[in-house]
Structure 1
Amino acid sequence: MKNSRFHACATCIHFRPEKSGDSLKYYCARLGFETKTHYQFDCWNPKENIKKLMARESQVNRE
């Protein structure tokens, strides 16, 4: 799945945005450190809505 266009921290179940004062920071709840929305890690576990989008796209590509 690493080659998937959906693969990014922002689409992972472990992604947590946290507002800190005037800024917004992003954290990986699994790894325990700050991340960026576009970063990619091998531990990626997509959110349910992303899984559905990937399945739909895969089905369209097979037709």
Structure 2
Amino acid sequence: MDDLNCQQSVLTNEHSTVSKNTAAKNAMKELLYMVQTIAQNIKSVAAEFDEANATIQDGMIY
């Protein structure tokens, strides 16, 4: 009977580990999505800055 309890304990621990790994993987996917979104926003702002800078340069009299 102790052997059965030991096996059940091992399976429970393995299931817990798998659940934690799945949760960690899902959290990493969410974090990656956030980082990609931030990177895209930075690219958009940089493009707007470049466009504004070009407009300013076009309007300057030397």
- Is the TM value for this pair above 0.5? no
Q: TM-score, normalised by structure 1?
A: 0.27
Larger Rg: 2
Q: TM-score, normalised by structure 2?
A: 0.28
More helix by share: 2
More strand by share: 1
